[in-house]
Each structure stands twice: as structure tokens, then as C-alpha cells.
Amino acid sequence: MGTVGKALDLLDLFSRAEPQLGLSQLARASGVNKATCHRLMSELESRGLVEQVGPAREYRLGSAVLRLAALREAAVPTRDAAMPVLRRLAETTGETAHLSQLVAGRLQTLAFAYSSRPGVKVMMEDADFLPFHATASGAAVLAQLADPEPLIAVAPDQNALRTRIANCRDNGWAETVSTFEKDVHGLAVPLFDAFGQCTGALAVAAAAPRMTPGLHAAITAELTCAGAEITGLWGGVIPDALARLWRAAPSKDPDR
């Protein structure tokens, strides 16, 4: 491993739970000896990626990361970053892929992509809001919220929604059949920010009459991969429990 990689791994030791770290902590957590650790931190500090604070001179992330993030956002807006993954998801599943974001308490369509295969497709509309109670995306998000009750309480069929949320917590993905639109079979996974908080959902909307166990397994496998990828592209992290669930799921089957 190169010196640069070592220095960048030190950056990764900072977290929301531990925003400030002393030199000894950094050395211990990284396995790098204290003198080398100090030299690497000094180089990171000289470029503003970390700074020292307080009487104990602990380190925390510096303001240079804000500038880099602003440039990244300008170069690759959120939506653009996800589009290649969304298009690939539509192609590999042969169905319609759909991406939504939580904005001010509502789930809003950010983008969608159609498969290029001929035949029946689920059509989407731009800038739609997705009802939490009737879509797989909605259930995927509700399953991740600390307090979904206010949103569950307004659902026409609370029992059905509660079951859907519980299933999503067990499976790692949510499912609806003909709830929002007739003959649409929806499957969705949640997306996350840097603090592991849910920020939206990624879904595949398939024509229900076409669904088979093989297609179902293929879609959930592709969805979880694509969900992890988009979360990563947005600088987010998947909560540990869900990441384990996704890894344990049957892998993609190229022979379906």
C-alpha cells in the first residue's frame, strides 16, 4: 500500500460518532506507527483536509473537503451520477427502473429509465410524488425511518402497509403488486446518505403478468447491487444490518 493510500485511510477514521481524533487514537486504529501517522496528518493538514483543535490538538476534517465536494457536485450533479446505474438496471432486468428522493417529507421522482427491449413496459412521469402507502419505494423508505408512524397513520390500509414494511425489514427490499397502478409489480430498495439515513429509493417497476420466480430473483439481486452503487456514488453508506442482508441474498443469476 502506498503512502497516499495510508494517509487517505486516516481520513476514513473520522466518523459522525468520532469527529475528533487524537494522534494516539489514529495510530492505534490505523496500525501505522505514531511518528509516521504524525507526518501523514501534517501533510493532510498542510492542504486543509484536516485541522487541529482544542488544547489536546485533536484532529478533525478540514474545510478543504467542502471545496472539493462543491466542485464534485458541480461536475457530477446527483441525478447525473445515478443515471448510468439506472439505465443499466433497466437493461439487465428488461423492465423500468425508477429513482426517487425524499424532499421535504415527500418522495419525489428524480429519474427513470426504460429497457430497450420490445414489449409491454411500465411508463413513468417526471416530477411525480410517490404515495408512501401504495408504492414499493414508499415502503422501502418507511422501513428505514426512525418514526414512520405519522406516515403509516394516514394510509388507507394500514395493516397492508405494516406487513409490507415488516417484509422489507426482513428481506432488505420492498414489494407491491397492483397497489398504485394495476398490473404493476414494484420492487424497491432504500438509498442512504453519509450518516446512514435514508434519502430515497431505487425501484424496478415490472409488468405484473410477466413476473416469474426467476425474474423476481434477478430483479432483487440487480436492485440491491444498484442500490449500493448509487448510495456510494452519492457519498452515502448502507447501514451494517442491511448491508449484511443484501450480501446474504442470492446472487445474480445470468441464466434466468
Residues 19-48 touching a second copy, rule: CB under 8 A, are 19-20, 39-40, 43-44, 46-48
Q: Does 232 bind a second copy (CB under 8 A)?
A: yes
Q: Which of 31, 33, 55, 74 touches a second copy (CB under 8 A)? A: 74
Amino acid letter, 39: R
Question: Does residue 214 touch a second copy according to CB under 8 A?
Answer: no
Nearer to a second copy, 180 or 234 (CB): 234
- 181 near a second copy, rule: CB under 8 A: no
Strands (E), the chain: 50-53, 58-61, 96-103, 106-113, 129-130, 174-177, 184-192, 198-207
Q: Report the b/e string of 169-193 with b at 16+ CB within 10 A.
A: eebbbbbbeebbeeebbbbbbbbbe
56 forms part of the interface with a second copy (CB under 8 A): no
Q: How far apart are CA 121 and CA 185, in angstroms?
A: 11
| Positions in 75-114 near a second copy (CB under 8 A) | 75-76, 81
Contacting residues toward a second copy, per CB under 8 A: 2-5, 7-9, 11-12, 14-16, 19-20, 39-40, 43-44, 46-49, 60-76, 81, 193-195, 232-237
